[in-house]
């Protein structure tokens, strides 16, 4: 401790006595600066920290603040008016508090040891600031060139108050951080008066490449760059060499005033376009940054000042926007493809969900940022397997293929190998032997799947404790056997290949794009499209019962099914819903994550969709829609065959096409069934694991059953065996999972951390239009409804659904919309398949659609040509 009395020692700590473990006392920034001051060769301006003890002392002087914080915690993050009003009230209150004498004395003594009338920088340092999972950059205040004790205490109060800026409050609300748990320390440092200043990112903040450092620099204080007063000089450094530089015209700079404060000044004309740093200085700065990065163990966002030829580091925090890199344990180059983009679920998954998918997947998978990835490096390295991988990726999602080709264009990243070696089958399946076009094959496969799930339900009932986990490991092998059933794979590939054949040949012979979209309408055996139509049948049971409709409009409790019997006709409604849930209740949004609540567990999820169906459709809509699709498909078949026969060699072409139409209609519907089989098995696994979790809660091992979601399957197995759990690990996993929501998973990621973005590379998209992958033909114009949560969808007939992704659980919404736009997807992913099944014009892979399209705007979707227009 410093040489102060025991009472005042709680309030002020010197930076030199602080380390990274003391965030609770000095905040994130203070802890980082303390850590920086301990790194050899790193110069940090001398200073001290006014601790969180001081903040709590001041807050305790006004107990009424607690009431306002309670009100703030109840607000929605988008309630800007209320947030602005209440947060301003808290700031005014804090700034109006007179600093207690003993606290003021402690701060003044710290100033005396460094120079009472010297100039200081005063910076906020919140306890939830600059953490590995959450950077609060720019949310609290910094004051430069503060001179004298009175001014310094006044600015300390302002830093305390800045914990409650609108931006900081909104950030905490969005990220589930309790206002009461965050406290404010204040860092006070001697001012340095630099010749140049700026920011160093030890990883590229845009691409994520950990091998590239970026330096932004300008003359004078860094405030000119932070405020946007000038454009910075930008340098990019790789492997100790400046590989790119952009020198800006710097007309203005910010300098300190002798009496305190800062002012803008013009830069001499002859200096305006000179680099603010030499290349040698840039390289030396990056070397310092690498030393800091190694100390903290993560890429850093570093604020620096250049005085003479010496660099001073005034702040360092983790770059929390970078997507993590899978940990693989070697220094080789690797290329990873996102599993979530193939599975239509790019949200983060909890540890149990990740590990369960890994244990039941057909290829090895790695985790990063709460998402799953497949390492495709060896398949890319072999010319033989590379072509097949790129073809499969291109048919599924052209943006993935383009990203992979971008990596391959870098000659030194993926070395060429003579063969693929180990690494498993190509992502997305492999080519299959031809099979006969026989509907009985699909019937047999469906019966096999049902029998397998029934056997699992029967055999798991008596298993508990460690024996349950031994049984599940065996069940996972049966799971993979069923998933990799050669006959199942043959049927899936036969349907896909027939689709591709029809689209390619009919475009070549008739000039018709995506003809298979119409030819596959109302194909048999499609479990996912039937799921959406079946909910229309449920609506038919509810519609003539107004009391039930009124009751459902106010439903919030998951036990509402039991209450239905109290209404006239309610028993029939309950029976219809239970029948639906028995068949489809294993599904939910993000269903590849076993921890997500299934419809059978949370049936209220379906209520808004059912009520939309009651309002927007007439009785018998399901049957009419299915028959209408079948009729359109027959008419299209007749039209195509008639036109083909009129061509040279037309009879042969028509006969081949007829065989392919029969083949695609026989097999394409089954494409959705294996996923249904997977989630059916997952629900059985989940029920057994939650029963085990309940026993752990009863034994006092766990606080609540859902704690198991933050353990891997293997960890949960050990907890059941030992009857002990690491509570701290569970808490850390909860915090990490919350932070992963702020990360955007890339389609393709390299071991250098670079998120490689693909492009369509098309010249047929009109100016101003948004390009996408056309997956279901037709053109439609309508109101865009931007929906990020299925449970909050409010759709009317003619609306166009715009969302991030759709997995099978979104299918009930498809019966009531006119078109579909998603940010994620491919030609054979679930949303595309069901859009074609329902005849909805659809685009997938529209980058930034939910951000670029406003809810309620009118848009025109060109599902044949692959773009959309936002209409005036």
Calpha distance 592→357 (Å, rounded) = 7
Residue 760: is its pLDDT beyond 60? Answer: yes
Of the chain, the end-to-end C-alpha distance in Å amounts to 66
Calpha distance 674→656 (Å, rounded) = 29
Residue 302: C-alpha distances to residues 129, 160, 249 (Å): 14, 23, 23
SS (H, E, C) 744-796: CCCCEEECCCCEECCCCCCCCCCCCCEECEEEECCEEEEEEEECCCHHHCCCC
Give the per-residue pLDDT at 129.
Answer: 54
Calpha distance 836→841 (Å, rounded) = 8
Number of H helices, E strands in the chain: 31, 26
Backbone angles phi, psi at 49, to 5 degrees: -125, 130
Residue 338, beta-bridge partner list = 373
Calpha distance 354→855 (Å, rounded) = 33
Of the two residues 595 and 809, the one the predictor is more confident about is: 595
What residues contact residue 242 under an 8 Å CB cut-off, 6+ apart? 235, 236, 279, 282, 283
Residue 745: C-alpha distances to residues 104, 348, 690, 757, 831 (Å): 48, 9, 29, 11, 19
Question: Exposed/middle/buried for 387, CB within 10 Å: 0-12, 13-18, 19+?
Answer: exposed
Give the residue-averaged pLDDT of 785-790. 91
Give the per-residue pLDDT at 419.
Answer: 57
Backbone angles phi, psi at 839, to 5 degrees: 70, 30
Give the per-residue pLDDT at 140.
Answer: 56
Whether the Cβ atoms of residue 203 and residue 210 lie closer than 8 Å to each other: yes
Backbone angles phi, psi at 700, to 5 degrees: 80, 10
717-744 in b/e form (b: 16+ CB < 10 A) is bebbeeeebeeeebeebbbbbbbbebbe
Residue 433: is its pLDDT beyond 70? Answer: no
Whether the Cβ atoms of residue 310 and residue 25 lie closer than 8 Å to each other: no
Pairing mode, strands 12-14 and 47-50? antiparallel
Whether the Cβ atoms of residue 349 and residue 163 lie closer than 8 Å to each other: no
pLDDT per residue as tens digits for the range 66-117 = 888 888 888 888 888 999 999 899 999 999 999 999 999 999 999 999 999 8
Q: List residues with catalytic annotation.
A: 830
- Residue 250, both tokens: 């710097």
Backbone angles phi, psi at 524, to 5 degrees: -70, 160
Backbone angles phi, psi at 124, to 5 degrees: -70, 155
CA atoms 275, 276, 280, 284: torsion sign: negative
Please report the DSSP string for 361-415 in residue order: -SS--EEETTEEEEE-HHHHHSHHHHHHHHHHHHHH-HHHHHHHHHHHTSTTTS-
Pairing mode, strands 262-266 and 184-190? unpaired
Calpha distance 577→816 (Å, rounded) = 19
Residue 624: is its pLDDT beyond 70? Answer: yes
Calpha distance 515→499 (Å, rounded) = 9
Whether the Cβ atoms of residue 802 and residue 853 lie closer than 8 Å to each other: yes
Backbone angles phi, psi at 461, to 5 degrees: -60, -40
Interhelix angle 527-542/607-616, rounded to 10 degrees, is 70
pLDDT bin (cut points 50, 70, 90) of residue 421 is very low
The predicted model scores a pTM of 0.86
Calpha distance 124→52 (Å, rounded) = 11
pLDDT per residue as tens digits for the range 184-196 = 999 999 998 888 9
**How many CB atoms within 10 Å of residue 527?**
22
> Any long-range contacts for 463-469 (C-beta under 8 Å, 24+ apart)?
463/688, 464/691, 464/692, 464/695, 465/692, 465/720, 466/717, 466/720, 466/721, 468/688, 468/689, 468/692, 468/720, 469/713, 469/716, 469/717, 469/720
pLDDT bin (cut points 50, 70, 90) of residue 420 is very low
Backbone angles phi, psi at 220, to 5 degrees: 75, -155
pLDDT bin (cut points 50, 70, 90) of residue 801 is very high
Residue identified by tokens 């290949």 is: 497
Calpha distance 140→171 (Å, rounded) = 11
Calpha distance 85→80 (Å, rounded) = 9
Give the per-residue pLDDT at 641.
Answer: 97
pLDDT per residue as tens digits for the range 224-246 = 677 667 788 999 999 999 999 99
Of the two residues 576 and 269, the one the predictor is more confident about is: 576
Of the two residues 136 and 653, the one the predictor is more confident about is: 653
pLDDT bin (cut points 50, 70, 90) of residue 176 is confident
Give the per-residue pLDDT at 776.
Answer: 92
Interhelix angle 439-460/673-698, rounded to 10 degrees, is 10
pLDDT per residue as tens digits for the range 253-302 = 887 777 677 778 888 877 888 999 999 999 999 999 999 999 999 999 99
Give the per-residue pLDDT at 792.
Answer: 82
What residues contact residue 511 under an 8 Å CB cut-off, 6+ apart? none
Give the per-residue pLDDT at 227.
Answer: 65
Backbone angles phi, psi at 180, to 5 degrees: -75, -20
Question: Exposed/middle/buried for 524, CB within 10 Å: 0-12, 13-18, 19+?
Answer: middle
Residue 731: is its pLDDT beyond 60? Answer: yes
Calpha distance 426→424 (Å, rounded) = 7
pLDDT bin (cut points 50, 70, 90) of residue 135 is very low
Residue 220, beta-bridge partner list = 254
**How many CB atoms within 10 Å of residue 822?**
27
Q: What is the mean pLDDT of the chain?
A: 91
Backbone angles phi, psi at 631, to 5 degrees: -65, -45
With vertex at residue 644, the alpha carbon angle to CA 642 and CA 650, rounded to the nearest 5 degrees, is: 115
Backbone angles phi, psi at 188, to 5 degrees: -120, 120
Give the residue-averaged pLDDT of 394-421. 84
Calpha distance 676→765 (Å, rounded) = 37
Backbone angles phi, psi at 871, to 5 degrees: -90, 150
Element (H, E) at 619: none
Residue 716: is its pLDDT beyond 50? Answer: yes
Backbone angles phi, psi at 377, to 5 degrees: -60, -50
Among 450, 801, 780, 510, residue whose Cα is nearest residue 647? 510
Whether the Cβ atoms of residue 216 and residue 199 lie closer than 8 Å to each other: yes
Calpha distance 842→836 (Å, rounded) = 8
467-490 in b/e form (b: 16+ CB < 10 A) is ebbebbeebbeebeebbebeebbb
Give the residue-averaged pLDDT of 664-669. 96
Among 640, 352, 689, 676, residue whose Cα is nearest residue 527? 676
What residues contact residue 114 under an 8 Å CB cut-off, 6+ apart? 46, 47, 48, 190
173: three-class secondary structure by DSSP? helix
Among 415, 394, 399, 213, residue whose Cα is nearest residue 334? 415
Calpha distance 357→348 (Å, rounded) = 13
Pairing mode, strands 800-803 and 779-786? parallel
């Amino acid at each position: 401790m410093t040489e102060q009395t025991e009472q005042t020692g709680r309030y002020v700590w010197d930076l030199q006595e602080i380390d990274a473990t003391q965030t609770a006392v000095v905040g994130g920034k203070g802890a980082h600066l303390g850590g920086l001051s301990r790194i050899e060769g790193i110069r940090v301006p001398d200073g001290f920290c006014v601790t969180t003890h001081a903040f709590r002392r001041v807050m305790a002087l006004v107990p009424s603040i607690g009431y306002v914080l309670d009100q703030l915690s109840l607000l929605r993050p988008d309630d800007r008016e209320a947030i602005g009003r209440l947060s301003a009230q808290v700031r005014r209150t804090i700034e109006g508090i007179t600093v207690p004498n003993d606290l003021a004395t402690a701060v003044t003594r710290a100033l005396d040891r460094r120079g009472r009338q010297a100039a200081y920088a005063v910076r906020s340092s919140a306890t939830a600031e600059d953490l590995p999972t959450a950077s609060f950059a720019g949310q609290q205040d910094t004051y430069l060139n503060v001179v004298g004790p009175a001014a310094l205490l006044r600015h300390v109060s302002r830093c305390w108050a800045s914990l409650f800026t609108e931006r900081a409050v909104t950030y905490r609300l969005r990220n589930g951080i309790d206002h009461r748990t965050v406290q404010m320390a204040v860092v006070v440092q001697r001012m340095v008066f630099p010749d140049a200043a700026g920011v160093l990112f030890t990883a590229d903040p845009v691409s994520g490449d950990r091998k590239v450092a970026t330096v932004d620099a300008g003359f004078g204080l860094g405030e000119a760059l932070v405020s946007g007063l000038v454009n910075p000089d930008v340098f990019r450094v790789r492997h100790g060499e400046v590989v790119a530089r952009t020198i800006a015209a710097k007309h203005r700079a910010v300098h300190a005033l002798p009496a305190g404060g800062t002012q803008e000044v013009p830069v001499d004309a002859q200096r305006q376009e000179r680099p603010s740093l030499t290349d040698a200085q840039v390289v030396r700065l990056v070397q310092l940054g690498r030393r800091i990065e190694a100390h903290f163990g993560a890429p850093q966002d570093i604020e620096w000042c250049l005085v003479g030829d010496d660099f001073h580091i005034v702040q360092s925090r983790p770059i929390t926007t970078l997507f993590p890199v899978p940990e693989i344990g070697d220094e080789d180059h690797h290329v990873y493809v996102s599993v979530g983009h193939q599975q239509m679920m790019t949200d983060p998954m909890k540890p149990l969900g990740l590990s369960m998918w890994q244990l039941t997947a057909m290829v090895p998978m790695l985790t990063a940022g709460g998402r799953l990835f497949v390492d495709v490096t060896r398949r890319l390295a072999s010319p033989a397997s590379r072509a097949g991988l790129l073809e499969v990726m291109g048919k599924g999602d052209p943006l993935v293929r383009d990203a992979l080709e971008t990596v391959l264009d870098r000659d030194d990243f993926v070395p060429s190998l003579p063969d693929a070696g180990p690494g498993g089958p190509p992502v997305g399946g492999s080519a299959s032997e031809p099979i006969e076009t026989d509907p009985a094959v699909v019937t047999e496969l469906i019966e096999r799947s049902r029998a397998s799930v029934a056997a699992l339900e029967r055999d798991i009932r008596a298993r508990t404790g460690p024996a349950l986990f031994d049984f599940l490991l065996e069940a996972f092998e049966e799971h993979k056997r069923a998933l990799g059933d050669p006959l199942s794979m043959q049927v899936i590939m036969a349907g896909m290949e027939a689709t591709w054949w029809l689209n390619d040949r009919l475009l070549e012979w008739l000039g018709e794009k995506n003809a298979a979209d119409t030819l596959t309408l109302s194909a048999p055996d499609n479990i996912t499209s039937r799921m959406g139509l079946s909910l229309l049948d449920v609506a038919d049971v509810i519609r003539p019962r107004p009391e039930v409709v009124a009751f459902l409009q106010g439903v919030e409790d998951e036990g509402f099914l039991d209450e239905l019997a109290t209404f006239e006709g309610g028993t029939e409604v309950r029976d219809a819903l239970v029948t639906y849930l028995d068949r489809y209740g294993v599904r939910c949004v993000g269903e590849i994550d076993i921890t997500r609540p299934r419809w059978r567990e949370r049936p209220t999820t379906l209520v808004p969709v059912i009520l939309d169906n009651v309002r927007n459709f007439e009785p018998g809509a399901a049957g009419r829609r299915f028959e209408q699709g079948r009729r359109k498909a027959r008419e299209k078949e007749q039209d195509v065959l008639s036109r083909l026969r009129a061509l040279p060699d037309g009879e042969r072409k028509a006969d081949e096409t007829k065989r392919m139409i029969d083949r695609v209609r026989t097999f394409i519907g089954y494409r959705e069934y294996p996923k249904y089989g997977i989630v059916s098995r997952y629900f059985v696994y989940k029920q057994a694991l939650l029963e085990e979790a309940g026993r752990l809660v009863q034994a006092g091992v766990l606080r609540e059953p859902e704690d198991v979601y933050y353990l891997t399957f293997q960890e949960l197995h050990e907890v059941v065996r030992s009857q002990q759990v690491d509570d701290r690990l569970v808490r850390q996993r909860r915090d990490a999972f919350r932070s992963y929501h702020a990360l955007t998973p890339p389609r393709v990621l390299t071991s250098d951390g670079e998120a490689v973005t693909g492009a369509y590379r098309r010249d047929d998209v009109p100016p101003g239009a948004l390009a996408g992958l056309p997956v279901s033909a037709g053109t439609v114009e309508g109101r865009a409804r931007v929906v990020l949560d299925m449970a909050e969808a409010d759709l009317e007939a003619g609306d166009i659904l715009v969302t991030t992704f759709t997995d099978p659980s979104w299918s009930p919404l498809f019966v009531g919309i006119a078109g579909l736009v998603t940010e994620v997807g491919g030609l054979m992913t679930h949303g595309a398949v069901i859009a074609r099944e329902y005849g909805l014009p659809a685009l997938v892979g529209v980058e930034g659609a939910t951000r670029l399209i406003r809810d309620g705007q009118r848009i025109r979707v060109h599902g044949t040509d692959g773009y959309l227009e936002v209409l005036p």
